[in-house]
Amino acid sequence: MISDDDADTSEPEKAPGVGGVRRQLRLNTLPAARRSLAILIREFYRDPVADVGRFRAVVYALSLLINGFRVELELDVEAELDEIQRKLERMVHP
């Protein structure tokens, strides 16, 4: 049995600057990266003593990541369109 003395009553670790409470940001997909960016923006807005330089750097990095996801999606769409076009050409000119 855990006594009250053994319980973890510590406050969440404070991140220097952006957002106050340190959290694991999900960055593995475009929607997850967008949600993480929205979380950081809201936390920055709420924190009157946030580190503007750190916030700017994090937002810039997330913007690059999001743009990378967009480019990847565009390339996937182009590849699919090319495949459809090849199939149509084979149907018209067997």
Asked whether residue 58 is domain-assigned, the answer is yes
User: Which domain covers residue 56, as residue numbers?
Assistant: 30-92
pTM of the complete model? 0.64
Q: What is the pLDDT of residues 35-48, one digit of tens each?
A: 999 999 999 999 98
Q: What is the pLDDT of residues 48-76, one digit of tens each?
A: 898 999 999 999 999 999 999 999 999 99
Asked whether residue 32 carries a pLDDT value surpassing 90, the answer given is yes
| Distance in angstroms (rounded) separating the CA atoms of residues 9 and 61 | 34
Asked whether residue 36 is domain-assigned, the answer is yes
Asked whether residue 14 is domain-assigned, the answer is no
pLDDT of residue 80: 96
End-to-end CA distance of the chain: 75
Domain count, the chain: 1
| Distance in angstroms (rounded) separating the CA atoms of residues 32 and 83 | 29
Q: What is the pLDDT of residues 6-25, one digit of tens each?
A: 444 444 444 444 555 667 88
Asked whether residue 74 is domain-assigned, the answer is yes
Asked whether residue 73 is domain-assigned, the answer is yes
